[in-house]
Chains A and B, each alone.
Chain A
Amino acid sequence: MTVIEVGREDRGGLTLRQRWSHYLVLIYGVAMLLISINLRDSILYATVPYEDVRAGIRAFYPKGWLLDNEGDYVFRVRDMTRPDFKTTIQVQIIPISVDSTARNLLDNLLLTRAQIFGQYRQYPRAAFQLSDESSATAVNYTFVAGQDDPFLESFPTVVAGQDIVVLQREQAVIVTFQVSAERYDQLYPVFQTFLEDLDF
């Protein structure tokens, strides 16, 4: 019996050399795609370590953000490159009594912020689980922020924020994320990464 193989030599009119060249270009394309995504992540989500031994907090905040620990918080980092509202992540520790609950704390925050921020509105609170399986309470809110400098004459910005409240022994840790509302979804992964790395 004779087997005749038809069309083996002419697969699309390409030689073996031409086919391999084409495959190598495709491999190069896939490799560059993966490297590009990796490069993007390594720059976009690059972090810098921060440690406060006295407060017992260790965190990794976004690279290039301005660190500030002069206020009534453990530390605050802000993205100063934003022309409108500076995206902010803040960690605050408040001493509480043994009987205090997250609800007391959030009610207190609501009353305080309603006097500071314009059009402050809080949304329903929800349970939140941190990366170490500990439970917390999350609350989302919005407010309107204007530029501090009146000479800039800019329009106010709608800001969306989220507070994560963790009760721990006789203190409450409040992790705050505030960003221009239109960029909230885009930058929320940055806050998630921050929370995952936060150690207290």
Chain B
Amino acid sequence: MTTTSRLITPPQEDEIYPYRRVWFSIALEAGLLLAICVGMFIAFNVIGVQLPIIFRQVINIGLVALPVVLWFLFSLAREQAVSLPRQRMLTVLIVTGLAANAIGLPILQNVFQIDRWLPLADAPTRLVGYAITVGSLQEIIKYLVVRYTTYPTLFRIRLDSVAYTVASALGYSTVLNLQFALTTNTDPGTLGLEIFATTAFHIVASLLVAYGLSELRFASPSPILLPLTVVLAALIHGLAIPLRAGLINAGFSLSGGFTTPLFGLIVAIGLLVGVGSTMAFLFERAERAAREASAESGRST
């Protein structure tokens, strides 16, 4: 009796990705935030749930904290589960929040005084004005926080820039959401949509700046690439605010005026999905180009 030996190909070992997957976290957090905010809108504005004011305020504060809570669960906590976690994520979030409250809001309210002239200006002035004032100021503050707390030492891969700029976006938007919740007596349904839109606009703008930062760190682009991404971020952020406000606000008609908050939600979702997908594609393309360049140089040596 003879035995024949069979040669078996050894199983291919999967390479363990040592970093947290940023895009998955962003999609998960944004999706859950959207679901909860829309749920609140349906409950309070469609079904018409009535709650005592004290419960409403508690829910409002919970809604303001929701983006950060989701970020803690699906970004920060997951960082601890990977072999190469990112450092100073919480620092970026807190410092941006403090900068927003100490610098951003006072400049907007006391120096620019946008409430006195911008909402009442004509449409072109409103579009340009929001981009120049609100958009630029917010994007510069977020950029400076990321730049001076993490860049370039903590940037090990391209997606690190996304992780840090999204953390700064959440820090800034949380302060704005808190201010909105505390200064307006709004119901949780409307507040939920406002929170989602504010958070989405900040994340979208930060993704653009993240691309500029990562290219500057890992490639050799023109020095104006990063400023251009900041300008573009400010422009998109500045345009999104009056565009959303214009779609939400009730127009005059013979049948009466009704606000249309869902139009504003569609703008926020569209921007988040559109810009998010585009930036994910650009990051992937840049990563692939870098890998191919590296392989090419390896072959040539």
Interface residues of A (CB under 8 A from B): 13-14, 17-18, 20-22, 24-25, 28-29, 32-33, 35-37, 39-40, 43-44, 81
The A-contacting residues of B in range 220-240, CB under 8 angstroms, are 220-221, 223-227, 230-231, 234
What are 7 A-B residue pairs whose CB atoms fall within 8 Å in the complex? A14-B152, A21-B224, A22-B147, A25-B143, A28-B227, A32-B133, A81-B120
Given A25-B230, A32-B234, A39-B129, A13 and B223 touching (CB < 8 A)? no
Q: Is the CB of B132 within 8 A of A22?
A: no
Q: Is the CB of A24 within 8 A of B113?
A: no
B121: Cβ under 8 A from any A Cβ = yes
Total number of A-B contacts with CB less than 8 angstroms?
Answer: 69
Q: Is the CB of B137 within 8 A of A32?
A: yes
Given A32-B140, A43-B121, A18 and B129 touching (CB < 8 A)? no
B277: Cβ under 8 A from any A Cβ = no
Q: Is the CB of B117 within 8 A of A44?
A: yes
**Interface size range on B against A:** 20 to 34
The A-contacting residues of B in range 173-208, CB under 8 angstroms, are none
**Which residues on A sit within 8 Å (CB–CB) of B137?**
32-33, 36
CA distance A14 to B216 in the complex (A): 10
Q: Is the CB of A43 within 8 A of B140?
A: no
Q: Is the CB of B153 within 8 A of A13?
A: yes
CB distance from A75 to the nearest CB of B (A): 23
**Which residues on B sit within 8 Å (CB–CB) of A33?**
136-137
Given A13-B152, A14-B152, A81-B120, A28 and B112 touching (CB < 8 A)? no
Given A13-B153, A17-B223, A40-B113, A29 and B125 touching (CB < 8 A)? no
CA distance A57 to B95 in the complex (A): 55
Q: Is the CB of B117 within 8 A of A37?
A: no
Among A13, A18, A37, A81, which residue has its beta carbon within 8 angstroms of that of B216? A18
Among B111, B136, B212, which residue has its beta carbon within 8 angstroms of that of A29? B136
- The residue in A14, A20, A35, A36 that gathers the most chain B C-beta atoms within 10 A of its C-beta is A36
